Structure 1
Amino acid sequence: MSQKMLQPTGEKLMYVVMFTHIISAMTAFMFNFVLPEIRQTFHLTTVQVSWVTSSYILIYGMGTVLYGKLADQYKLKNLLTFGLLFFAFGSIVGLISQTYSMVLVGRCLQAVGAAVIPATSNIIPIRYFSPEKRGAAIGMAFVGLSIGGAIGPILSAFIISITNWHWLFLSPCFVLCALPFYQKYLREEERSFTKQMDWLGCIFLAIAVTTLLLSITKSSWILSLVGGCSIGLFVIRIYTITNPFIQPRLFASRGYSIGLILAFILSGILLSLPFLTPLLLSQVYRLQPQDIAFMMVPAAIVSAILGRTGGRIADRKGNLYLFVISSLLLIISFVLLNMFLKFSPWFISIFLVLGTIGQTFIMIAISNSISTILPRGQAGIGMGILSMVIFIAQAVASVSYGKLIDLGGKMGIHEGFIYSNIFLILTIAQVLILFGYYFLFYHCSKKSLLH
C-alpha cells in the first residue's frame, strides 16, 4: 500500500504517538524534582539516589536502538504492546515499592517499556508519510515531548504537595489508554523471521554504551577502557558475521554518518537550555525550585503550540529553510542570554522561549533530513541509533557543563560571568553548525551524500 493511501491513518497514529510522548516525557522529568525526598526517605547519599535517573537514561537510550532493530524484523503492533505493558508494569512495581532497591527495579522496568516510544515515533512517519509530508508528522512527536516537559514539573510539584512521591509512578499507567488505538490503526505487516537476531552484537553495544556513559559521569578511566574494548568487539562482530546487529553499510552512507555527527553536536548545544537555565536562575537569581519551574513553563507551552508548525515549514520550504530559522532563533537566544544576565529573571524566561522554539524546530529539521536518507529496510535501526546518539550527547554535555561551572567557581569567577561565557561559546558553535549543515547537506550533491 502506498504512503499516500496510508497518510490518513498515519495522521491518526501521530496523535496517539503525541499522547504517549507526553506520558514518556512526564515520566522522565518528574522524578528529577523529587530526588531530595527519595534520598531522605531511604537515607541515601547523593550518588546513590542519582541512580533513579541514571538507570532510566541508560536503559532508555540503549532500548531505543534495540526496539528500532526489532521493528525492522517484527510487527510494530506487537512491539508496542509489549513495551507499553512493560512500562505500566514497571510503574506499578514502583508504586507499591517499600525499599530503594524496588524503586530502582520499577524505574528500570519503566525504561525497558518506555524505550519503545521514541523508537516507534521515529518509524511511523517513515512508514506512513511520504517525504514531503513527513515533517509535520515528526513535529507532532516533538509537540508531545514539549507538553510532557511542561506538565512534568508542575504535576510533580502538585503530587508532592498533597501526597507521597510514590504516587508519581501512577501517571505512567495511563499510557495503556493508547494501546487500543495502536491496535486499531497500525496496519498488519508482513515480516520475515528468517534472519536470526545478533544478540551477542547487541550485548557488546549495550556494554559499550553503558560503560562509556558511566565513565563520563563518574570520570573513570577503567570504565572508559571497558567501553573502548566493547566497541572494538562490536566492530569486529559486525564485520565478521552475515547478519550483524547493525549493518556496516548503514554507516557507508555519507549523509547518514554526517547527520549523526551533527545530531551529536547539536544535542549537546541544545541541552544547555533545559540544563543551564535552572542552574542559572538558582545560582545567579537565587530563585526557589517552584519559581524556576514557573519561569520555564511558558517556553515549553509555546514550543508545544508551534511544534507542528515547524514540521509544516520543513514540508513546504524544506529542511534547510527550517534549519536556518531555528539556528537564528538559537543564536539570538544565546546572544541575549549572554548580554542580559544582570536584568530581571523575566528576561531570561522570554529569551528561553526563543531558544526552546529553535530547539524544537532544529531537531525536526535534522530528524527529517536523516529519515529521507535511510533505506526503508534500515529505517528502524537507523533512527534508533540517532536516538541513542542524542542520549549519549546529552550525557556528555551535562557533565561538561557541570565541570565548566565547577571550574569557574574554584577559580573564583562570578557565576554570572561563567554563564555569560558559556552562552558566548554556544553562540559561536551554533553559527559553525549552521554553515556546516548547509555545506554538507545542500552544497554537496544529494548523490554524494547517499553514496
Structure 2
Amino acid sequence: MGNMIKKQASEKLLIIMMLTVTFSSMSILLFNFVLPLISEEFQLTNSQVSWVTSAYTLIYGIGTATYGKLADRYKLKNLLTFGLILFSFASLLGFFSTSYWLLLVARCLQAAGAATIPATATLIPIRYFPIEQRGTAMGTVFVGTALGSALGPVISALVVSVVDWRWLFCIPLFLLLTLPFFLKYLGDERGADTSLDWLGGALLALTVAQVLLGVTNGAGWFIGGIVASILFIIRIHSTKHPFVQPKLFKDKKYSTYLVLAFLITGIGYSLFFLTPLFLADVQKLPASLIGFAMVPAAVTSAILNRQGGKLADSKGTPNLFFLASSLLIVCFFLLSTLIGSNALYMALFLIFGNVGQSFMMIVMSKSISTTLPKEHAGVGMGLLMMQNFISGSIAMGIYGRAVDIEASSSWNPFLQSSNGTIYSNIFLVLGILHVVILIVYKLKVHKKYKILND
C-alpha cells in the first residue's frame, strides 16, 4: 500500500514537472517574435535588441550546470522554490519596465531563476523512478519541451495582437501555482555536506560565457574561453572538493555519450533555426503563418514522447536510438530533396524530424543517467543540459553563416527545384552526418558498452 501511494505521488510530481517545463520552454521563445517591437520602442539596433534573448540563453545555460551541482548538496525543493520565486519576481519587473536596461535586467533575472527547472526536470526521473521506468519518466518530462516549443510562437503572436508585448511577462507567473505541489511531493533528500568550489564554478561559467559570445562576436572570445577552460581543468585537479570531479570525465561511457549528445543536439537545432528561414525564403510564407506551420511537428512530438520513453524502457535505448536516427535521416533527406515543394509537405517532414529529435533527447538523457553515481547525478546531468545550449549556439552560428553563402549548384542529385539550393545542401550534409553517427553508434558505442538491456 505504501509503495502504491509513493508511486502515485511520483506520477503526480512528474505531471507537475512536465507543466513547469512547458512554461519554461515557452519563456525562452516568447520574446523571439517581438524583438522588432522592442527595437522600435526603445530605438535599438539589431545587435542591441538581440541581447534580450542572447543574455537569457547565456545565463540559462550556465545556470543549469550550477543548479545541478547545488542539487547534489541542497534539497531539490529549496532550490526549485528559490528559482520559481526569482523567476516570478523578474517577470513582474519586466512587466513594469520602462527602459531597455530594466527590461534586460528582468530577462537576466528570469534566466537565473528558470535555470533551476531543467536541472530539476532531469533529476526527478533519476531520484523518484527505478531505472526500468526512467525512460518513460524522462519522456513525460520532455513532453513539456515539445509543448512549449509549439505554444510559444502561437501565444506570443496572439498576445501581441491584442495587448502590449510586456504582457508576455505575465505568462510565467502561472508557475507560482505549481509551487505548492512541489513542496508537497518533493522529498527532503540532500547530498553530502561538502564545501562548494565557487572558483571552479566561476571558471566554468567564464568558459561557457566566452564560448557563447565567441559564436556571435568573433574569435577573440574563443581564445579567452580556451584560457578559462585550462584554468578550470587545473582547478578541478588541484582542489579537494572540485566543482566537477575529474573522474566524471575519465568515465569513458559518460564522456562518449556527452560528445554524442553534443553533436546530435547541434544537428537538431537546424530544425528550429532553419525552418522559419526556409519557410519564409523558399515557401514565401508570411510571418504570421510560419509559427503555425511548425505546430504540428511539436504537438506530435508531445503526444509520442511518453511512448518513446516506454520503448526505451521495454526494448532498450539502442532500439529507440535506431528509430530516432532513422526518423531524422528520413526528415533531412526529404527536406533536402523536396525543399521547394508545398509548405504542407514541409510541415509533414518536420514531424519526422521533431519526433526523432525528441526521442534522441530521451536516449541521451537515460543513457547518461545510468553512468552517473548518485552523488554526482546533479552536476552530471547539469553538464548535459549546459552543453545542449553550447552546442545549439555554436550550431546556429554555423547555420547562419552557411545560409548567407550563395550556392551555385545542388549537391543533391534528386533535388526537384532550383529554389532553396543552399537549404537543400545543408540538410543533405546533416542527413549524411546522422548516417555516420548511426554507424559509429552501432559499431562503437552500442557494441562496446553492451547496453541493449540497460
Compared CA separation, residues 365 and 445, structure 1 to 2 (3 A) = closer
The correspondence of residues 123-272 of structure 1 with structure 2, limited to 5 A, is 123-193=123-193, 195-219=194-218, 221-272=219-270
Q: Tell me the TM-score normalised to structure 1 length.
A: 0.96
Unpaired runs of 5+ in structure 2?
411-417
User: CA–CA distance in 1 between the matches of 2:449 and 2:396?
Assistant: 35
**Letter of the structure 1 residue corresponding to residue 148 of structure 2:** G
Q: Does 1:429 align with 2:433?
A: yes
Alpha-carbon offset, residue 436 of structure 1: 1.9
1:278 equivalent in structure 2:
276
1:101 equivalent in structure 2:
101
2:414 equivalent in structure 1:
none
Asked if the contact 1:3/1:128 (under 8 Å) is kept, the reply is no
User: CA–CA distance in 1 between the matches of 2:57 and 2:346?
Assistant: 28
1:360 equivalent in structure 2:
358
User: CA–CA distance in 2 between the matches of 1:5 and 1:178?
Assistant: 20
Alpha-carbon offset, residue 438 of structure 1: 2.5
2:120 equivalent in structure 1:
120
What are the Cα deviations for residues 207-264 of structure 1, in whole angstroms up to 9, with x where unaligned?
Answer: 1100111011112x32112111111111110000100100000011100000110000
Asked if the contact 2:76/2:190 (under 8 Å) is kept, the reply is no
- The percent identity for this pair of structures is 48
User: CA–CA distance in 1 between the matches of 2:16 and 2:363?
Assistant: 22
2:406 equivalent in structure 1:
408
The correspondence of residues 41-80 of structure 1 with structure 2, limited to 5 A, is 41-80=41-80
User: CA–CA distance in 1 between the matches of 2:205 and 2:78?
Assistant: 23
What are the Cα deviations for residues 170-207 of structure 1, in whole angstroms up to 9, with x where unaligned?
Answer: 000111111000000011225432x1111011111111
1:38 equivalent in structure 2:
38
**Letter of the structure 1 residue corresponding to residue 324 of structure 2:** S
Alpha-carbon offset, residue 342 of structure 1: 2.2
Unpaired runs of 5+ in structure 1?
none
User: CA–CA distance in 2 between the matches of 1:179 and 1:39?
Assistant: 34
Alpha-carbon offset, residue 442 of structure 1: 2.0
Compared CA separation, residues 438 and 241, structure 1 to 2 (3 A) = same
Alpha-carbon offset, residue 6 of structure 1: 4.7
Q: Structure 1 stretch 334-343 or stretch 177-186: which is displaced more?
A: 334-343
What are the Cα deviations for residues 405-424 of structure 1, in whole angstroms up to 9, with x where unaligned?
Answer: 11226x79966110111111
Compared CA separation, residues 123 and 371, structure 1 to 2 (3 A) = same
User: CA–CA distance in 1 between the matches of 2:103 and 2:278?
Assistant: 31
Aligned residues: 444
1:418 equivalent in structure 2:
422
**Letter of the structure 1 residue corresponding to residue 41 of structure 2:** T
User: CA–CA distance in 2 between the matches of 1:3 and 1:263?
Assistant: 34
User: CA–CA distance in 1 between the matches of 2:244 and 2:39?
Assistant: 40
Asked if the contact 2:22/2:147 (under 8 Å) is kept, the reply is yes
Secondary structure at the aligned position of 1:343 is classed as coil
Q: Tell me the TM-score normalised to structure 2 length.
A: 0.95
The correspondence of residues 332-343 of structure 1 with structure 2, limited to 5 A, is 332-343=330-341
User: CA–CA distance in 1 between the matches of 2:7 and 2:375?
Assistant: 19
User: CA–CA distance in 1 between the matches of 2:423 and 2:298?
Assistant: 22
Asked if the contact 2:336/2:424 (under 8 Å) is kept, the reply is yes
Secondary structure at the aligned position of 1:408 is classed as coil
Compute the RMSD of aligned alpha carbons. 1.7
Match of 2:286 among 271, 288, 291: 288
Asked if the contact 2:143/2:302 (under 8 Å) is kept, the reply is yes
Asked if the contact 2:30/2:153 (under 8 Å) is kept, the reply is yes
